[in-house]
Amino acid sequence: SLPKTATIIEVGPRDGLQNEARTVNTEDKLDFIKALQEAGLPEMELTSFVSPKWVPQMADAREIVAGTKKSGRQFVLTPNERGINAALEAGADSIAVFVGVSNSFNEKNINKSTAQSMEALKPLIEKAKQDGIFVRACISTAFYCPFEGAVDPQKTIELCGQFVDWGVDELSVADTIGMANPQESHELFSQLKKRFPDVLIAAHFHDTRRMALANAYAALVAGIDRFDASAGGLGGCPFAPGATGNVATEDLVHMFHRMSVDTGVDLEKLYEAISFIEPHVSNPLQTGMYTLYKNR
Ligand code: HMG
Ligand code: MG
List, for residues 30-71, the tens digit of each pLDDT value. 999 999 999 999 999 999 999 999 999 999 999 999 999 999
Q: Is 208 in the pocket of ligand 1 (CB under 6 A)?
A: no
Predicted local confidence at residue 242, as pLDDT? 84
* Residue 147: count of CB within 10 angstroms of its CB: 14
Q: Which pTM was predicted? A: 0.98
Give 98-108 pLDDT, tens digit per residue: 999 999 999 99
Counting residues of the chain whose pLDDT is more than 90, the rounded percentage is 97
Quote the ligand 2 centre to 10 CA distance (angstroms): 11
Q: Is 79 in the pocket of ligand 1 (CB under 6 A)?
A: yes
Residue 5 three-state SS: strand
Nearest residue (CA) to ligand 1, atom 7: 51
* Residue 7: count of CB within 10 angstroms of its CB: 18
Atom of ligand 1 nearest to the CA of 100: 57
Nearest residue (CA) to ligand 1, atom 25: 51
Choosing from 46, 50, 121, 141 the residue with most ligand 1 atoms within 8 A of its CB, the one to mutate for a pocket test is 50
Q: Give the orientation angle of helix 249-258 with respect to helix 267-277, to 10 degrees.
A: 170
- pLDDT, mean of residues 221-234: 98
Using the predicted structure, report yes or no on whether residue 22 has a pLDDT greater than 90. Answer: no
Tell me, what DSSP letter sits at residue 151? Answer: -
Q: Point out the residues that are catalytic.
A: 237
Nearest residue (CA) to ligand 1, atom 21: 53
Alpha-carbon torsion (219, 225, 231, 232), positive or negative: positive
Buried b / exposed e along 180-211 (16+ C-beta atoms within 10 A): bebebbbebbbbbeeebeebbbbbbbbbbbeb
CA dist., res. 169 & res. 187, Å (int): 22
CA dist., res. 259 & res. 213, Å (int): 13
CA dist., res. 245 & res. 113, Å (int): 25
Predicted local confidence at residue 166, as pLDDT? 98
Predicted local confidence at residue 17, as pLDDT? 97
Give 62-88 pLDDT, tens digit per residue: 999 999 999 999 999 999 999 999 999
Give 241-285 pLDDT, tens digit per residue: 989 999 999 999 999 999 999 999 999 999 999 999 999 999 999
Question: What mean pLDDT, rounded, does the chain reach?
Answer: 97
Quote the ligand 2 centre to 78 CA distance (angstroms): 14
Q: Is 48 in the pocket of ligand 1 (CB under 6 A)?
A: yes
What does the H/E/C string look like for 20-40? Answer: CCCCCCHHHHHHHHHHHHHCC
Nearest residue (CA) to ligand 1, atom 13: 51
CA dist., res. 270 & res. 266, Å (int): 6
Give 174-197 pLDDT, tens digit per residue: 999 999 999 999 999 999 999 999
